[in-house]
Amino acid sequence: MSHANAALTPRARLRLAKLVVDQGWPVARAAERYDVSWPTAKRWAERYRLAGEAGMHDRSSRPASQPRKTPQPLVRKIVHLRWKHRLGPVAIADRLDMASSTVHAVLTRCRLNRLSHIDRITGEPIRRYEHPTPGALLHVDVKKLGNIPDGGGWRYLGRAEGSKNRNTTVGKPRSKHYNPKIGTAFVHTVIDDHSRVAYAEIHDDETATTAIGVLRRAVTWFHDRGVTTQRVLSDNGSCYRSHAWRDACTDLGITAKRTRPYRPQTNGKIERFHRTMAQGWAFKRMYSSESARRKALPAWIHEYNHHRPHTATGKRPPISRLTNLPGQYT
């Protein structure tokens, strides 16, 4: 294997071999010229005679024959037990009467040594996809968050102080148990599948009318950034199953798609975004009121789109994948 300090790169090997084979130099003299041992010089000369210039490149060090390699039928059994039963190397080795180290080596070779590499529901390898262009698919969903009472919630102040602030928050109706109803914030989120650029709005409900309004504004927002929406993918929530949602998508020229029931993994990009949003904005710091948290969302969305590196986009901000931004080349 050639490296930074290698005496012979593939190009230098070719020159050495040509000195010996084409020009008739003695092997020892050519080895001295290139400061290597004569067996090394002889080896490259022989490879040049047999394979020509193509023989100057590195070859695999894997032996031609591996009689002690785990048989393929046994490998299939190991993979089956891992996929279907989520068993570890020790449990699989006990069932198949073999060494656990061998099972672990097979799982590593098949990239199944970590359970995170397979779907936790079906046991099948995780299928990842990404549409080739921005706007080819938008993911939509709603994240529900309990409203924060005036003075702060229990997450930072503790249960006792949080309950006190909840009881003293004015203007809130009471439940049948006389507990104040703080309410719920419905964060309607939209994610572009290719670029991971996000759009979000906070509302007090998740009705079809609200979801349609968010979709129309999101499509306009993406259009202002040079993105034409073609499809939208949602779960099977009531607002997305309505005829109004279907008709709105038709009016916008968008193909509406829904995930398979009980399969949130299909919409996994926006589910993962919700986790990032919760950590980076919703529960990042203490907010003294719900209005303070809502006012902080636009700044965090801008940080996420324009400054936060994303592993799915080569550790660059999501906005870097939108190449048609107005004023980008001025």
- Per residue in 228-279, pLDDT (tens digit) is 999 999 999 999 999 999 999 999 999 999 998 887 878 889 999 999 999 9
Residues 202 and 289 in one domain: yes
In a domain, 165, yes or no: no
In a domain, 263, yes or no: yes
User: By the 8 A CB rule, do 141 and 147 touch?
Assistant: no
Kindly state the percentage of the chain with pLDDT values over 70: 89
295: containing domain: 138-147+183-321
d(CA 225, CA 326): 7
d(CA 261, CA 235): 8
Residues 106 and 20 in one domain: no
Residues 51 and 76 in one domain: no
Residues 220 and 305 in one domain: yes
In a domain, 26, yes or no: yes
In a domain, 308, yes or no: yes
In a domain, 104, yes or no: yes
- Name the residue with higher pLDDT: 4 or 10: 10
The domain that holds 233 is classified in CATH as 3.30.420.10
133-145 per-position pLDDT tens digit: 999 999 999 999 9
304-325 per-position pLDDT tens digit: 999 999 988 888 999 999 865 5
The region of weakest confidence among 10-24, 54-68, 90-104, 294-308 is: 54-68
Buried b / exposed e over 24-52, threshold 16 CB at 10 Å, is ebebeebbeebebeeebbbebbebbeeee
pTM of the model as a whole = 0.64
The region of weakest confidence among 59-68, 72-81, 247-256, 287-296 is: 59-68
d(CA 156, CA 170): 21
Number of structural domains (the chain) is: 3
Residues 101 and 143 in one domain: no
In a domain, 82, yes or no: yes
Residues 233 and 100 in one domain: no
Residues 142 and 280 in one domain: yes
What is the predicted pLDDT for the residue at 120? 60
Is residue 330 over pLDDT 80?
no
Is residue 128 over pLDDT 90?
no
- Which residues does residue 255 pair with via DSSP β-bridges, in sequence order? 231
Pairing of strands 255-258, 184-192: unpaired
Residues 143 and 271 in one domain: yes
Residues 76 and 190 in one domain: no
User: Cβ neighbours of residue 110 under 8 Å, at least 6 residues apart?
Assistant: 75, 78, 79
Residues 107 and 243 in one domain: no
In a domain, 269, yes or no: yes
Residues 268 and 313 in one domain: yes
User: Cβ neighbours of residue 304 under 8 Å, at least 6 residues apart?
Assistant: 198, 276, 277, 280, 318
In a domain, 85, yes or no: yes
Residues 189 and 299 in one domain: yes
